[in-house]
Structure 1
Amino acid sequence: MTQVTEHGGGVWSLRVPIPDNPLGHTLVHVVDTDRGPVLVDTGWDDPDSWSELTAGLGALGLAPRDVHGVVVTHHHPDHHGLSGRVREESGAWIAMHAADAAVVRRTRESDPGTWLDYLARKLASAGAPEEHLAPLRAARSGGRIRTLPGLGAALPDREIVPGELLDLAGRRLRAVWTPGHTPGHVCLHLEEEHPAGLPGRGRLFSGDHLLPGISPHIGLYEDPDDATVTDPLGDYLDSLERIGRLGVAEVLPAHQHAFPDAAGRVRELLAHHEDRLTGLLALLTAPLTPWQLAERMEWNRPWDRIPHGSRNIAVSEAEAHIRRLVKLGRAEAVPGTEPVAYAAV
């Protein structure tokens, strides 16, 4: 049965499934405007997901052709995947932050093998063993890469500008740039009185930035053509503090469920990452490569039970934490190591 939740004040959420993913579903939000419904995110590009999105809209007396616009919190396929199909059905505009639009454009324009070549090189430099790299090389040579999600993601036709109100007739929805999970992730502050009278300054569509029970993945910003040393974890922590200062009455995230007390959740996540950085410093009393550090970090299951693709994500997260420690002057690369190992200072 399609699960539709009414949040009041012309806002609903639709549960759109994510195939073969423990998160289960994306919460696609429907916002009523004077020019028609606008979606915040759209869900994964999959036939079952499209059927559920269509059914959810149908429960509200709507169809995809009625959608006026799509606001994308970030470029990941469980959020942006169906945006193109919605636009094909309705002529709706698609809005996204410029940094994530650049990721979509680069992915569309690059040869599909570029990504796997880059990933293999990066993992090798992080200390990944040959048995982990072999499947990537096999996929590259075996022609299976064209099935990777996101290769044909829709190009947005509007830019979300941080700090500005989006052009939604009859609504006040302001963009808040919250990089970390992706370089162009945005939260969306609905600057309207809470329909149930909860104290605070409106509601927040938080995408993956602020979730009630899990911490979003914070890995490196991946760009094969850009050697800039970024600090995604630092970006995320700064963004969390920015959201904590908004004082919203309720958070409407893209996964799990709506919740109050954004500031309290921000404090929990800041403390979580500080504890994690402290724990990693204890591991780095002896030099470790990013791969070796990932093997020793705490995940939601033992390392030997983490699937191949999820290990790539874990290593990226380890690298993001190492970069933060290096930037803070609490760790440094060990001279002469290859692949590069890091140690606490």
Structure 2
Amino acid sequence: MTSIQDHPGTYDHGGGVRSLRVPIPDNPLGFTLVYVVDTDRGPVLIDTGWDDPTSWDALTAGLTACGTSVAELHGVVITHHHPDHHGLSGTVREASGAWVAMHAADASIVRRTRETRPERWYTYMADKLAAAGAPEEHLAPLRTPPTRRRTLPGLAPALPDREITPGELLDLPGRRLRAIWTPGHTPGHVCLHLEEEHPGGLPGHGRLFSGDHVLPEITPHIGLYEDPDDATVTDPLGDYLDSLERVGRLAPAEILPAHQHPFTDAPSRVRELLTHHEARLTDLLALLSSPLTAWQLAERMEWNRPWAQIPYGSRNIAVSEAEAHLRRLVKLGRAEAVAGSGPVTYVAV
């Protein structure tokens, strides 16, 4: 992996694949790795980065360092709808005419986000958190009049104009890039398998653009993405674990993730992640020796900092992850909701 034209954060991975570090403002992850894949019709991006002027400047400067430009882009393939991946897609399309492709499940979330009034989202979020046992002081900011609230980021993401079909090769002339559906981090998350010999001769089956599904040192967030008008009970953690095993069996020569750095030995990393989640489920069962709400469980779970130091928005994410783990335990028959409890509490069985 070599730097291109001494431009920091721009790397040539060989075989017509390069990466750009696009910063994420005020986020400990630091940056999104946006990949540039050469095709016979021009470069295609895998993800675009956060919608911010600094991020846009980094993207355009990185493309220039790669010997191309936004105007020359042929398409954009989105691994999932999160704003650090999909945020700049609309701006890229306006500047280039490139198509934007996404899995239908995440495209549905984008469509719903665009069509739902912010006030409806705040009410829905407040009701969900109240049902999870959140205290009133946490709910109060969500119940204030809309004119007194800051607008949430990512409320108008770009609608994709192409659908990624799992299992099929993408329409990239001169390349073999196959979509692998890997739900869990989001319902429509996809990894992208470059079915070509590794340019460095590493053993294994091609290279895998893994988005946020498999990262070298971070365990991806597993939360809930639900339609306020749909009462279906999902199991995103179960989906994620199944998806992990599929990636492990694929055994790519190299993983090209959206954060941190590329790495090898995907089966080993998959085993680490599966072991982590099994250990976490076991730890949660011990906490559920007495009935707890999802909020109370989140307060007691192990995070990267004490609960008192977790920011407001991150607490919402933590509660969502606690609920995802609870659903998995209930589906496995290892925990159950306490009848008549409200907010609902759960206990190990």
After TM superposition, is the score higher than 0.5?
yes
Q: Distance in 2 between matches of 1:200 and 1:2?
A: 29
> Residue 34 of structure 2 aligns with which residue?
28
CA deviation after TM superposition for structure 1 residue 179, in Å: 0.2
> Residue 273 of structure 2 aligns with which residue?
269
Do the aligned residues in 2 keep the contact of 1:96 with 1:158 (CA within 8 Å)?
Answer: yes
Q: Distance in 2 between matches of 1:277 and 1:102?
A: 30
Matches within 5 A, 1:311-330: 311-330=315-334
Find the residue that maps to 2:255 and give its secondary structure.
strand
Counterpart amino acid of 1:12? R
CA deviation after TM superposition for structure 1 residue 116, in Å: 0.9
> Residue 283 of structure 1 aligns with which residue?
287
> Residue 17 of structure 1 aligns with which residue?
23
Find the residue that maps to 1:188 and give its secondary structure.
strand
Per-residue CA deviation, residues 263-315 of structure 1 (Å, 9 max, x unaligned), is: 10000000000000000000000000000000000000000000000000000
Q: Distance in 2 between matches of 1:266 and 1:117?
A: 38
CA deviation after TM superposition for structure 1 residue 38, in Å: 0.2
The unaligned stretches of length 5 or more in structure 2 are 1-6
How much identity, in percent, do the aligned residues show?
Answer: 78
Matched, 1:82 2:110: no
CA deviation after TM superposition for structure 1 residue 2, in Å: 3.9
Per-residue CA deviation, residues 126-178 of structure 1 (Å, 9 max, x unaligned), is: 0000010111223x433535x32221111101000000000001000000000
69, 73, 87: which one aligns with 1:67: 73
> Residue 177 of structure 2 aligns with which residue?
173
Q: How many residues are matched?
A: 343
Per-residue CA deviation, residues 308-341 of structure 1 (Å, 9 max, x unaligned), is: 0000000000000000000000000011211000
Query: What's the TM-score, normalizing by structure 1?
Result: 0.98
Do the aligned residues in 2 keep the contact of 1:2 with 1:55 (CA within 8 Å)?
Answer: no
Q: Distance in 2 between matches of 1:3 and 1:141?
A: 40
Counterpart amino acid of 2:83? P
> Residue 142 of structure 1 aligns with which residue?
147
Please, what is the CA RMSD of the aligned residues? 0.9
Matches within 5 A, 1:103-182: 103-138=109-144, 140-145=145-150, 147-182=151-186
The unaligned stretches of length 5 or more in structure 1 are none
Do the aligned residues in 2 keep the contact of 1:120 with 1:136 (CA within 8 Å)?
Answer: yes
CA deviation after TM superposition for structure 1 residue 235, in Å: 0.3
Q: Runs of at least 4 residues of structure 1 off by over 4 A? A: none
Q: Distance in 1 between matches of 2:47 and 2:146?
A: 34
180, 198, 213: which one aligns with 1:194: 198
Q: Which moved more, 1:110-119 or 1:34-43?
A: 110-119
Q: Distance in 2 between matches of 1:109 and 1:227?
A: 19
Q: Distance in 2 between matches of 1:86 and 1:333?
A: 46
332, 336, 342: which one aligns with 2:336: 332
Find the residue that maps to 2:250 and give its secondary structure.
coil
